[in-house]
Amino acid sequence: MPDDAQQHAPRPVERGVLPLAGVRVLDLSRVLAGPVCCQVLGDLGADVVKVERPVVGDDTRQWGPPFLGGDDPSERGPSAYYLSCNRNKRGIALDLEQPAAREVLDDLIRRADVLVENFLPAALAKFGLEPARLRSLNPRLVSVSISGFGRTGPLADAPGYDLAIQALAGLMAITGEPDGAPMKVGVAISDVLTGLYAAISAISGLHARGRGQAGASFDLALADCTLASLVNVVQSTLLTGRRPRRYGNAHPQIVPYEAFATADGHLVLAVGNDRQWQRFCRAAGRDDLAADSRYATNPLRVENRETLIAELRREFQSRSNAAWLALLAQAEVPHAPVVPIDEGLAAPQTVARGMVQTATDSCGRTFRLLASPIHVNGSGPLPVAAPPALGEHTDEVLRQWLGLTDERIADLRTSGAIA
């Protein structure tokens, strides 16, 4: 972000006044869905403690390049992938293969408000993290379990990977050019959506507990959350029994609502109702389209999609991007240019919302991080703390959460239970 833009960005709100201040979250998850969930809770003020394996940590620490500090192994920090979903957390390293470490984990569970995990069933049993045992350790604990297919059903024991889930849930089948191959979404969207559903679940559990209910347990499946994300496409299939097809950048039920190539770029046109369609036609100088009975209403435009879109494609190529953007803005027709991510990050609206913040890690490296998109009580962006180094806060958390002495912490470290 340019220096002058940084100066005009809003200042983050203080953590102590955030809605989840005082809530303790134990993050036993790895990769993306669970870390996204816990990052949201940390953004909102919770004290999130991320538990990782000694030496290697979360797999995503090595999912690069790029890496913080560059790609030289002697200088590099964690990957951009890890940084993207672990802000506003503290980190400890526990070797859960060791009984002493599992005892420490049990003590942490007793003092936690929320636990988030994404272990396979065999690991849940091995580490004593089954719902019944969690309730025995801490009846008030809100537990959130994330897996590929949920804890019930014939695929309960199967691991879940975002790409496979996108394929199995039908998302890939409706994504891509109409005559092209099935295509995944450009980010691991199944993981991200499941992480958000998991955060909602955790917060609802805290709300229920505040009304006197015992700690709730939640079962989140990547497959379920991805299927739920297909909203109108799934509902159309349920109503008609027909298999949906791919529309590329177009919309199955709204026309024109897609991307168009201009004389020198691309933009999207999003005509959502018939009034906007008439305004578009007048602005483009196409009164003939406005008067054409085939295109008078949205259902008719959907029915006659092919002829209309062919005509609009020719029309859009007659002007530059800048000319179209000015014309559509003046006519108040929904539209947007297609911009690369780096331009989007530097856009005035992004800066005004404080979506990019500066953080400094424990090694003194300063870098830019995305902030939370949540704004509370009209304030600036939520505060951003750098994702933790592996085991960075082990001693601090064991002292604060468990009251362990330095001698006890040293003994655990010597045994290899912590790092």
Q: For residue range 328-373, list pLDDT tens digits in order.
A: 999 999 999 999 999 999 999 999 999 999 999 999 999 999 999 9
Among 319, 337, 355, the domain-final residue is: 337
Task: Give the H or E element holding residue 304.
Answer: none
Residue 248 forms part of a structural domain: no
**CA 387 – CA 57 distance, rounded (Å):** 13
Same domain, 37 and 143: yes
- Total domains in the fold of the chain: 2
For residue 9, the model assigns a pLDDT of: 57
Percent of the chain whose pLDDT exceeds 90: 92
The string of pLDDT tens digits covering residues 270-308 is: 999 999 999 999 999 999 999 999 999 999 999 999 999
Same domain, 151 and 197: yes
For residue 180, the model assigns a pLDDT of: 95
**CA 373 – CA 134 distance, rounded (Å):** 32
**CA 214 – CA 228 distance, rounded (Å):** 28
Residue 243 forms part of a structural domain: no
For residue 5, the model assigns a pLDDT of: 47
Same domain, 14 and 105: yes
Same domain, 66 and 122: yes
Find the length of the chain: 419
- Band of residue 380 on the pLDDT scale cut at 50, 70, 90: confident
Cα dihedral 55→60→64→66 (10° resolution) = -100
For residue 14, the model assigns a pLDDT of: 75
Same domain, 283 and 317: yes
**CA 278 – CA 262 distance, rounded (Å):** 21
CATH number at residue 308: 3.30.1540.10
Encoding tokens for residue 106?
């049990």
Residue 356 forms part of a structural domain: yes
Query: How far does the chain reach from its first CA to its final CA, in angstroms?
Result: 36
- Which one is predicted more confidently, 254 or 16? 254
Same domain, 190 and 303: no
Encoding tokens for residue 378?
């009209």
The string of pLDDT tens digits covering residues 88-121 is: 999 999 999 999 999 999 999 999 999 999 999 9
Same domain, 109 and 35: yes
- Band of residue 3 on the pLDDT scale cut at 50, 70, 90: low
The string of pLDDT tens digits covering residues 61-98 is: 999 999 999 888 888 999 999 999 999 999 999 999 99
DSSP string, 140-182: T-EEEEEESS-SSSTTTTS---HHHHHHHHTTGGGSS-TTS--
Does residue 168 surpass a pLDDT of 70? yes
Q: Are 354 and 380 in contact (CB under 8 A)?
A: yes
Which of 27, 58, 162, 191 is the catalytic position? Answer: 191
**CA 272 – CA 297 distance, rounded (Å):** 11
Same domain, 357 and 330: no
**Domain of 327?**
257-261+266-337
**CA 142 – CA 129 distance, rounded (Å):** 13
Q: Are 280 and 269 in contact (CB under 8 A)?
A: yes
Same domain, 184 and 311: no
Pairing of strands 90-93, 47-52: parallel
For residue 12, the model assigns a pLDDT of: 67
Does residue 1 surpass a pLDDT of 80? no
For residue 157, the model assigns a pLDDT of: 94
The string of pLDDT tens digits covering residues 178-237 is: 999 999 999 999 999 999 999 999 999 999 999 999 899 999 999 999 999 999 999 999
Pairing of strands 24-28, 114-117: parallel
Other CB atoms within 10 A of residue 334 CB: 14
Among 337, 367, 399, the domain-final residue is: 337
Same domain, 144 and 178: yes
For residue 72, the model assigns a pLDDT of: 85
Other CB atoms within 10 A of residue 392 CB: 20
Place of tokens 């394929």: 167
Residue 251 forms part of a structural domain: no
Average pLDDT over residues 248-259: 96
Does residue 191 have an active-site annotation? yes
Among 337, 362, 378, the domain-final residue is: 337
Mean pLDDT of all residues belonging to the chain: 95
The string of pLDDT tens digits covering residues 30-58 is: 999 999 999 999 999 999 999 999 999 99
Same domain, 85 and 170: yes
